[in-house]
Amino acid sequence: MIAHVSRWVLPVDGPPIDDGAALVEHGRIQALGPADKILAGFPGAVVDHGQGAILPGLVNCHTHLEFSALAGQVSPQSRWEDWLEAALAGFAALGVEEIESGIRRGIAQAWETGTALLGEVSNHGLSWPALQQARLAYHLFYECLGFNVLSLGDLGEAFPFFALPEVEDTAWISAAAHAPYSVSPALFRAVREWNARGQRPQTVHLSESWAEAAFLAEGDRFFRDLLRRRGRWVPDFRPPSQTPAAYLGSLGFLGPRTLAVHGVWLNTPDRRLLADSRTWLILCPRANAFTGAGQAPVSELIEAGVPLALGTDSLAGNWDLNLFGEMRWLRENFPDYPGDLWLRLGTLNGARALGREADFGTLSPGKQAALGFIPLGGKPDFWIDLYQSGAAGEFRWICESGWGEGQGPEVPALPPSPTPNPQK
Ligand SMILES: [Zn+2]
């Protein structure tokens, strides 16, 4: 048993502990509290990390590792539609090896900056083998697109990935629906039913751009042209004349196992709908700034009681995969909220959203010893100090081994050859 001691210990589900200690054995947290109590009569090794904070590893609920090779190649945009076109063109020019090495770099960056659990949205299945070998834990959302899928029985009919027995047997794999403008009602239903069979979480991009709201309201041109170019247009499509959130509600796609991502353009009834249905909203504030999408109404979402967690989104649409950057952004832009709120969103709430709070999200006895340390310089605002240090890459792990091990099924890594998503 080892005792880790530092000036502060941040359990997340309780107030910071001054001069705290965490006892770790067999990769699990055994006890937590003030160092003088925890260390009284303690016979094991004591590691004093000094002036800084011990905290749990972060939970990033939304990324696309397969876009990591586009890091630095797509510039920030003021118009989201321009960003989307640039990202799609950039991705189409990538070779499989570039994509795969990008995935490995993305995982390494997320791990090194403090991510313990990653919610990954995959279009090609290419990130799964790398995640099975990663030290961080993951949940893989295999993303389905198909605006023109007018009828569908089982999801595996259109997406062979879901017909693989090792996929069915892996608890941390789900089906994802890309977005209300790229997924038909039949496909939404098939995704929902596949996930519901295994009580799995599901995810969907929601109200990221104004163009999405306009498309569902009145069939706006941008998405009609995009879907036509990609051969997915349905000539007799009639817009539902609903907001994206109301539309997802009418399809039965909202609820406590749904992670809706972005939520930039949500009106008052939309926010109430998400709160009442206990749908998670994953805030990606720096990605929204990068892509020109706008910003989610954070204060109004909090006021409405919408369950919130955090994501970075991809390296095609953010500067890095360091989730402390999101916390810093939120602390700086919403200084009136308690400073620890953003850490809770980036740890405990994320773990709850992904159904992994038994292992991650807080420093609690019994959970995985996913402990890190951030040195602090003693700035007057403790939380700004923490988030800035984390965003500057000062985080380091103090546990001894990864806990993502054992997350792969007992089969060779997939896919043996690239199997591009047929609907993309
Ligand atoms: Zn995304």
pLDDT digit string, tens, across residues 230-280: 999 999 999 999 999 999 999 999 999 999 999 999 999 999 999 999 999
What SS3 class is residue 373?
strand
Tens of pLDDT, residue by residue over 316-363, are: 999 999 999 999 999 999 999 999 999 999 999 999 999 999 999 999
How far, in Å, is the centroid of ligand 1 from the Cα of 206? 10
How far, in Å, is the centroid of ligand 1 from the Cα of 14? 31
- Mean pLDDT (the chain, rounded): 92
Estimate the share of the chain in helix, then strand, then coil, as percent rounded to the nearest 5: 35, 20, 45
Asked whether 87 and 74 are in contact (CB, 8 A), the reply is yes
Structure tokens at 12: 């997340």
Tens of pLDDT, residue by residue over 29-72, are: 999 999 999 999 999 999 999 999 999 999 999 999 999 999 99
How far, in Å, is the centroid of ligand 1 from the Cα of 328? 20
DSSP letters spanning 180-236: TTTB-HHHHHHHHHHHHHTT--EEEEES-SHHHHHHHHH--HHHHHHHHHTT---TT
How far, in Å, is the centroid of ligand 1 from the Cα of 209? 12
| pTM for this prediction | 0.94
- Give me the pLDDT at residue 26, please: 86
How far, in Å, is the centroid of ligand 1 from the Cα of 205? 6
The neighbour count for residue 414, using CB atoms within 10 Å, is 18
How far, in Å, is the centroid of ligand 1 from the Cα of 182? 13
- Give me the pLDDT at residue 418, please: 35
